[in-house]
Amino acid sequence: MLSCEGTGKNIEQAVENALFELKASREDVDIKILNPGGFLKKAKVLVTISEDAREKYEKKEKLKQQEKEEDTKIEVNVHEPKVKVEQAKVKVDVEEPKHSAERPQVQIITDEEYIVAEKSDEDKEEKNVKTVNAEKLIKDILEALDLTADIAVSEDERFIRYSLTGENLNDLIGHHGECLYALSSFISSVCKNGKKVVLDVENYRSKREETLRTLAERIANKVAKSGRYYKFEPMDASERKIIHTALQNDDRVTTMSKGEEPRRYLIVFPREYKE
């Protein structure tokens, strides 16, 4: 299905309903308003996969049809095994602890590779400032996921950047970088050393920036031509900044961010647009 009509109490809801049926994202479709709606009338739109994205969705549709045909040829009977569970009586002898006037000594052990304790000479009371080693944390995350990667470190006045390269690292990036940004935010939050930690995998950030700049230009052309605003899906603050910057000198459109994190999104609309 490459096109779908959607209805709703307003145009925005009608578009969302049509996108849900198509299982498509806004940047891949063209929107035609069939009925703007009004008092006691529902809005109606026609959402069609754009020409430049049609091949991707045609392949998905063909693959889905092939899987459906294969499923009809295979019949699987699953019999749930009958499991008889017998409760065993267990006798537990509990020895009452002997009371002692002495307090037990408790030893707290910290991982010196993770925690660096710093004591202040100015304060009479002992205060420990704990800082997590970011590179060690990244290595342990990779080890836990059974992944290997080369780590390159660069630093400036505001940021410490860790760039990972290796094989099978796509899971660290996730859909549109969601996993990468979340992981980067987590590492930065626990590694408080005065600078923000920025994690990059296989140079994804620069590739994504180029993609977003191309997308921003395409959306600006669509908005200027249709006279209707365009609402992006929620995205990371760094990605919103890329689109804001890419379109700040475009006299035809303007941009605005709305919503609350982590669901904050960006809107592109004509400069002469009025609600």
Output the domain CATH number for residue 167. 3.30.300.20
From 26, 43, 69, the end of a domain falls on 69
pTM for this model (two decimals):
0.49
Task: State percent of the chain over pLDDT 90.
Answer: 32
Is 92 within the bounds of a domain?
no
Is 27 within the bounds of a domain?
yes
From 25, 40, 69, the end of a domain falls on 69
pLDDT of 123 reads 46
- Nearest CA among 28, 39, 33, 26 for reference residue 7: 33
pLDDT of 132 reads 81
Do 143 and 196 share a domain, yes or no? Answer: yes
- Nearest CA among 206, 201, 208 for reference residue 138: 201
Residues 200 and 65: their CA atoms lie apart, in Å, by 37
Top-confidence residue, 206 or 176: 206
pLDDT of 224 reads 92
Q: Is the pLDDT of residue 85 over 70?
A: no
Q: What is the largest CA-CA distance in the chain?
A: 84
Where residue 232 sits, what CATH number does that domain have?
3.30.1370.50
Q: State the amino acid at position 193 in one-letter form.
A: N
Give the highest mean pLDDT range of 76-80, 120-124, 142-146.
142-146
| Order of strands across the sheet that contains 150-155 | 150-155, 159-165, 196-201
Q: Is the pLDDT of residue 45 over 50?
A: yes
Residues 149 and 170: their CA atoms lie apart, in Å, by 12
Is 175 within the bounds of a domain?
yes
Top-confidence residue, 109 or 53: 53
Is 32 within the bounds of a domain?
yes
Q: Is the pLDDT of residue 129 over 80?
A: no
Is 230 within the bounds of a domain?
yes
Is 89 within the bounds of a domain?
no
On whether the CB atoms of residues 60 and 17 are closer than 8 A, the answer is no
Q: Is the pLDDT of residue 82 over 70?
A: no
Is 104 within the bounds of a domain?
no
> Domain range holding 170?
131-202
Q: Is the pLDDT of residue 61 over 90?
A: no
Do 198 and 227 share a domain, yes or no? Answer: no
Top-confidence residue, 270 or 69: 270
Residues 56 and 28: their CA atoms lie apart, in Å, by 10
pLDDT in tens, 149-204: 999 999 998 899 999 999 989 889 988 888 998 899 899 888 877 888 999 999 99
How many domains does the structure of the chain reveal?
A: 3
Do 58 and 43 share a domain, yes or no? Answer: yes
pLDDT of 100 reads 46
Omega prior to 81 cis, within 30 of 0: no
Is 103 within the bounds of a domain?
no
Top-confidence residue, 206 or 31: 206
Angle (CA) 4 8 10, round 5°: 115
What letter would DSSP give residue 177? G
Do 23 and 44 share a domain, yes or no? Answer: yes
Do 156 and 215 share a domain, yes or no? Answer: no
Average pLDDT, the chain: 78
From 50, 69, 88, the end of a domain falls on 69
Do 260 and 222 share a domain, yes or no? Answer: yes
pLDDT in tens, 217-274: 999 999 999 999 999 999 888 899 999 999 999 999 999 999 888 889 999 999 876 4
